Amino acid sequence: MTKPHLTIVIPSYKEAANIPSLLEKIHSALGDYPYDVLVIDDNSPDGTAEVARGLAEKYPVSVVVRKDKRGLASAVVDGFKLAGGDIVAVMDADLQHPPEVLPRLVRAIEGGADLAVASRYVPGGSVGNWSATRRVISRGAVLMSHVLLPSTRGIKDPMSGYFMLRKDVISEVALSPVGYKILLEVICLGCPRTTVEVPFIFENRRAGVTKLSMITQTDYLRHLLSLMRRTGELNRIVKFVAVGGSGTLVNLGLLAILKEWAGLYYLVAGAIAFEVSVVWNFLLNDRFTFGDRKRPEGTFLGRLLRFNVTSLGGFIIYIGILALLTQVFGLFYIISAAIGIVVGFGWNFMVNSAWTWR
């Protein structure tokens, strides 16, 4: 049986010192497997393109130099368009992605996966000797993607820049990533049916200078927002806010009725009004906000119970912040309440999105 051809897309900028070793290691790892390497270079001033072209007689490598564009994500997208293989891999040029992992990614694809991710966060994987700060930032980025982009939740390392996929996963998808996290784009818009994670240990850069900066972190937040808009998750938050606003009106209105007209003690009236508003919010969210997320194995009462527990947690957070900021830090109680409402809302949305309507 003929093996599917593999194209390895490698974006590069000022990686002349790493290219020879990288191509040698790729060739050694893949052996006689049919492959080619496509280097997308952003007109590197150190001669990266010339170094790669000089090795074309020894290795199956071609080079595209971009003079009017710059950026890893757009380079990968251009590489996807030019790739001739049935399978496409993406890896960095700096040797932090060990080529020895390529055969395992190939086997995962041949075994039926649409997407194979080289993962730092599955057993056997590691981030190497990263600093504690970088580890926290990376884990935080993964958590944010899992909370805000539900399609990433089954993948432990959606931030990985090292992956392989069947080309038809993205053949009819308009990719427009921001920054470095192209895999998020593939997961959220390509919608691969089967994803396999293969462990790898993130290596130290052998030569050259890292491209990471604060701009990278800002780009990630912009990318999250862009994907939330394009996948409908941003619209979901707007619906959740609207439902919460209507629930507040129900709560306050019923509180006034029970206290002023029915003569109930204000705490009793408040407890009843709170529960009625929770049920009100649940019914609207179950129907409109998260209607597309209801699983066949889930039950109406089960979702209602989870929503109640989550709402109680949000209420406790609100009261705690109100008391802490007002009594301990001396903030005006209205400001404290506003902060508590915002934090409580964030809790309610994130937990409900990940638990009640997972």
Burial class (CB in 10 A: 0-12, 13-18, 19+), 104: middle
DSSP 5-73: PEEEEEEESS-TTTHHHHHHHHHHHHTTS-EEEEEEE---TT-HHHHHHHTTTTS-EEEEE-SS---HH
Q: Give me the percent of the chain exceeding a pLDDT of 70.
A: 95
Per the document, the length of the chain is 358
| d(C-alpha 83, C-alpha 36), whole Å | 9
CA-based nearest residue to 200, from 133, 116, 303: 116
Helix pair angle (300-323, 266-284), 10° resolution: 130
Max avg pLDDT among 111-115, 141-145, 177-181, 253-257 = 111-115
DSSP string, 235-297: HHHHHHHHHHHHHHHHHHHHHHIIIIIS---HHHHHHHHHHHHHHHHHHHIIIIISGGG--TT
Cβ pair 94, 205 in contact under 8 A: yes
Beta bridge mates, 224 = none
Residue 225: in which H helix or E strand, if any?
helix 214-231
Cα dihedral 276→349→291→249 (10° resolution):
30
pLDDT tens per residue, range 162-181: 999 999 999 888 898 887 88
Note the pLDDT of residue 208: 52
Amino acid at 135: R
Segment holding 321, helix H or strand E = helix 300-323
User: 217 pLDDT exceeds 80?
Assistant: no
Give 212's pLDDT tier (boundaries 50, 70, 90): low
358: tokens are 């997972």
pLDDT tier for residue 209 given thresholds of 50, 70 and 90: low
CA-nearest of 90, 35, 83 to 59 is 35
Over residues 19-23, mean pLDDT: 97
Alpha helix stretches (DSSP H) within 180-213: 182-185
Q: Is the pLDDT of residue 199 over 90?
A: yes
pLDDT of residue 267: 79
Nearest to 175 by CA among 188, 162, 159, 157: 188
Q: Is the pLDDT of residue 192 over 90?
A: yes
Structure confidence by residue, pLDDT tens digits, 237-295: 999 999 999 998 998 899 889 988 988 888 788 889 889 999 999 999 999 999 888 66
CA distance 86 to 110: 11
Mean pLDDT of the chain: 91
Q: pLDDT, tens digit, for every residue of 315-349?
A: 999 889 988 998 889 888 878 888 888 898 999 99
| Neighbouring residues of 304: CB distance < 8 A, sequence distance ≥ 6 | 279, 282
Residues whose CB falls within 8 Å of the CB of residue 177, separated by 6 or more in sequence, listed in order: 73, 74, 76, 77, 184, 185, 223
Burial of 271 (0-12, 13-18, 19+ CB in 10 A): middle
- Left, alpha or beta for 14 (phi > 0: left; psi -120 to 50: alpha)? left
**% of the chain at pLDDT higher than 90:** 68
